Amino acid sequence: MRGIPSVLSIAGTDPTGGAGIHADLKTFQECKAYGMAVVTSVVAQNTEGVRDVWHLPVEALEEQIKAVLEDIPPHVIKTGMIATPAMIEKTAELLEGKNIPLVIDPVMVATSGDTLMEDESTSIMKNRLFPLAEVVTPNMDEAKLLTGIDIQSQKDAEKAAKLLVDEMGVTAAVVKGGHFTGDAEDVVYYNGEIDIVSAPRTETKHTHGTGCTFSAAIAANLARGMEIKEAISESKSFITNAISNTLGIGRGNGPVNHWGSRFSRDEIIRE
């Protein structure tokens, strides 16, 4: 490992701090990695929904990425919301040949249901970014958009995960099962094997930023030198604690608790 583990997030913003680069930076810190962030889009959102989105010029994205790579090359890069085809093309162009593991959270729809990505961007992401990816972490809705498989069961999730790896070129796929009933079970397909990563389900509306946080934890754990399966398993524990120790803030779908592995809401309030 080269010195301090570092991770770069390339994603959009959340002024309420629950998702996007704000969630990523909190997660990197909690997972003992130095966090950096490149802004793709400025999003006016809160726990109740997305109000407006402004995409940065591609030139601004390019210069941010170059500035980081030239000075503090990250051990791992994590992408979240990259909304436009031109942004995805430029990101892929800048990352090709860099030999830096890439974790992709294919952010397409916010927890509130608001669309965050242009339609054409999905196919370009699959063709340009996925072949560079070490891990991709779609939820069931995102996996359906990416693969065309209507995921109604664990077997469907397994088919989607295999397709992401075998036909789209990612190294490992995690199809998250957070919307199923029963325990929260994620399907992992890596190195020709299916694994199920499970955790008890917490009934709560406070799940804003779950996908961002989970994928950010995977990126940080990879940067610390963990193998893929270990990084995913440790990140499952991290996000489970973040959800189960909810902060209970916000009028809508509140944020997960990035301190969840260390402090519960009650402990924080008592302090």
Q: Is 209 a catalytic residue?
A: yes
Q: Is 176 a catalytic residue?
A: yes
Please pick, among 212, 240, 246, 260, the residue that the annotation labels catalytic.
212
Q: Is 207 a catalytic residue?
A: yes
Please pick, among 209, 240, 254, 260, the residue that the annotation labels catalytic.
209
Please pick, among 79, 210, 240, 246, the residue that the annotation labels catalytic.
210
Please pick, among 47, 171, 207, 213, the residue that the annotation labels catalytic.
207
Q: Is 31 a catalytic residue?
A: no
Q: Is 212 a catalytic residue?
A: yes
Please pick, among 90, 162, 176, 236, the residue that the annotation labels catalytic.
176
DSSP string, the chain: --SS-EEEEEE---TTSSSHHHHHHHHHHHTT-EEEEEE-EEEEEETTEEEEEEEPPHHHHHHHHHHHHHHS--SEEEE----SHHHHHHHHHHHTTS---EEE----B-TTS-B-S-HHHHHHIIIIIGGG-SEE--BHHHHHHHH-----SHHHHHHHHHHHHHTT--SEEEEB-TTSSSSEEEEEEETTEEEEEEE-----S--BTHHHHHHHHHHHHHHTT--HHHHHHHHHHHHHHHHHT----SSSSPBP-TTTTT--HHHHHH-
Catalytic positions, written as ranges: 176, 207, 209-212
